[in-house]
């Protein structure tokens, strides 16, 4: 994941320990930055493939200006099967029974934006939306708590005079 020129990256880890937990926190911007250029949300809650819950919503994150209160970014944290093999080259076997191909993948890229920094802090709100235990279609149960959500923020640095 490429790092932008003349930038600095900060991150905040949110620890979710309770069901339907609502977490308010503030994120302090570094002093020498002029704008937010990239945002990324990562969640470490994973499911094994047999639970078939990939892409299910885990929680929502909203970021807003401390003074104005308007939300400028909102993102859904999603369940992942956290399969590292998706990074590796796959072999497509010659005996494809069904005549269709599908491929799961994940994209870790910055949400590119340009939000000028006008205040020292931004307000962040994370709400857990997944139930304490995840049930799949077969009635199998998987505990979901605790888990971590990491917010990455990339800033454009002020030019030194």
Nearer to another protein, 91 or 97 (CB): 91
21, 35, 42, 75: residue in contact with another protein (rule CB under 8 A): 42
60, 64, 82, 136: residue in contact with another protein (rule CB under 8 A): 82
Rounded distance between C-alpha atoms, residue 143 and residue 13, angstroms: 20
31, 70, 89, 137: residue in contact with another protein (rule CB under 8 A): 89
Answer yes or no: are the C-beta atoms of 35 and 159 closer than 8 Å. Answer: no
91 binds another protein (CB under 8 A): no
Rounded distance between C-alpha atoms, residue 71 and residue 68, angstroms: 9
Rounded distance between C-alpha atoms, residue 92 and residue 88, angstroms: 12
2 binds another protein (CB under 8 A): yes
Q: Is the peptide bond before 146 cis (omega within 30 degrees of 0)?
A: yes
21 binds another protein (CB under 8 A): no
């Amino acid at each position: 994941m490429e790092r932008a020129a003349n930038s600095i990256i900060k991150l905040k880890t949110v620890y979710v320990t309770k069901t339907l937990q609502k977490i308010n926190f503030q994120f302090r911007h570094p002093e020498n930055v002029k704008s937010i250029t990239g945002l990324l949300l990562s969640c470490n809650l994973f499911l094994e493939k047999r639970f078939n819950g990939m892409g299910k919503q885990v929680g929502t994150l909203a970021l807003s200006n401390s003074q104005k209160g308007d939300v400028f970014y909102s993102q859904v944290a999603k369940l992942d099967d956290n399969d590292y093999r998706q990074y590796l080259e796959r072999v497509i076997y010659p005996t494809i029974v069904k005549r269709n191909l599908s491929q799961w993948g994940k994209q870790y890229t910055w949400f590119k934006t340009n939000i000028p920094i006008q205040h020292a802090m931004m307000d962040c709100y994370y709400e857990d939306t997944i139930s304490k235990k995840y049930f799949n279609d077969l009635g199998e149960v998987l505990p979901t708590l605790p888990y971590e959500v990491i917010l990455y923020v990339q800033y454009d640095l002020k030019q030194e005079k």
